[in-house]
A and B are shown apart, each in its own frame.
Chain A
Amino acid sequence: MHPHEHAAAGPPLLAVVAVLALAAGAVAYAAALRASRARSPWPVGRTLCWYAGLAYAGAATAGPLADAARTGFTAHMAGHVLLGMLAPLLLVLAAPVTLLLRALPPARARRVVAVLRSPVARWGGHPVVAAVLDAGGLWVLYTTGLFHLVHASAPVALVVHAHVLLAGWLLTASLVGPDPHPHRASFRVRATVLVAFVAAHSVLAKWLYAHPPAGVAAADARAGAQLMYYAGDAVDVALMVLVAAGWYAASRPRDALVHGRARPGVA
């Protein structure tokens, strides 16, 4: 018998819900792969991204890192970067919407496309809305009493962690990724939003360095703030490369393709 199991009164609500939700995500992706196996081969990299993304989200919400995050700010921040930045990027790169459209029968796939084209998806999927939800949520979390409440209340912890993952996912999907996005904003808008988001994220990291949340020791806050800043940078630079690579692919010179017939001189 483990003596501390009585004191902890079972695993936290967040861990239980997270494991169930992530397991459902794992099963759903595998089922969609199976349903669409008659079609052209699905890139292995996308499948790996999906399961790696689920694994990082799981590490942030259940297990030793999640346990440490309830008492230490640096561990909390490591989980936050995994859940809100790295996992969303990997889940977006896994192209789940494309896979869903391949797996569904045509009539139901058309209904999914209709949802993607709806005004709600258009507004919710806009980078400005997604960035305000994501960065705004972070500012509220760290500059109000909410941070303290996350550790005191299991339902609040669940809602905040779900928000961090979903807002990060929404922002990432509004900026980059292989999935169809009927209303994707222009390169200029996406680049501007990304730069503004990175600025807000790094300002918040330095603000936390100087103003630790209530109950967090100064040294722990400083280590966590620097982790937020530099690990955030790594994911943000990857996002910048993907946004710029999207521009590069979309703006390739078309002379050779469109006018190739009439231009024997162009090599």
Chain B
Amino acid sequence: MGSTSPAREQDRPAPDGARAGDRRTLVSGVLFGCGVAASIVDLFVFHLGLQWHHFYDLSTTHVALLADGVFHAVGWFVTVWGLFLLADVRRRGDVRWGRWVGAVLVGVGGFQLLDGVLNHKILGIHQIRYGVDLLLYDAVWIGSAVLVLLAGLVVVRRTRPARAGAGGA
């Protein structure tokens, strides 16, 4: 499905394929970004690197423990699934890497925002760090999440495919 081949059969309009590929690029990036933030950043930076997080701080309700398990499982799955979607876009045509990176930023920022507000503050599954005044940590966490999310949205908007132009891209 080359995006630059103008001569195609009538029964298969090219724009659908290009649009589907573009949508899949965005979905792949957002899923991978969410997954990286949920599983890899959390595990390697906060658990193993800084050691701010505990395996389990024993302060959790049953509902929050269940939510934590679901977050954990979904985090790993969307990391893997996002990469396979990217591989699928790649085998069907060229990947627009700038757009994919923008979508990854949206995923990372969006997940960190959700994690910082829903998990840390509303559900109280765990905190960023223990034995410190949390206000500064929460402000930096949520503020940086909003910045990354906005940066991603700007990149995604600026790399929009031209709708009216012939041949796409």
- On A, residues with C-beta under 8 Å from B are 191, 194-200, 202-203, 206-207, 209-210, 222, 225-226, 229, 233, 236-237, 240-241, 244-245, 247-248, 251-253, 255, 262-263, 265-267
Contacts and interface: CB of A to CB of B under 8 A. Distances in A.
Given A196-B73, A251-B88, 9 more contacts: A198-B73, A199-B66, A199-B73, A202-B73, A248-B84, A248-B87, A265-B5, A265-B7, A266-B2
6 cross-chain pairs, A with B, having the tightest CB-CB distances, nearest first: A198-B73, A203-B69, A199-B69, A199-B73, A244-B84, A240-B80
Contacts of B65: 203, 206-207
A203 B68 contact: yes
Contacts of A222: 55
16 contacts: A196-B73, A199-B72, A202-B72, A206-B56, A206-B69, A209-B55, A209-B56, A222-B55, A226-B55, A236-B76, A237-B80, A240-B81, A253-B1, A253-B91, A263-B9, A266-B1
Interface in B41-92: 55-56, 58, 65-66, 68-70, 72-74, 76-77, 80-81, 84, 87-88, 91-92
Interface in B149-163: none
B88 A248 contact: yes
B162 to A, nearest CB: 22
B84 A200 contact: no
A35 B8 CA distance: 52
B34 to A, nearest CB: 14
Contacts of B73: 194-199, 202, 236
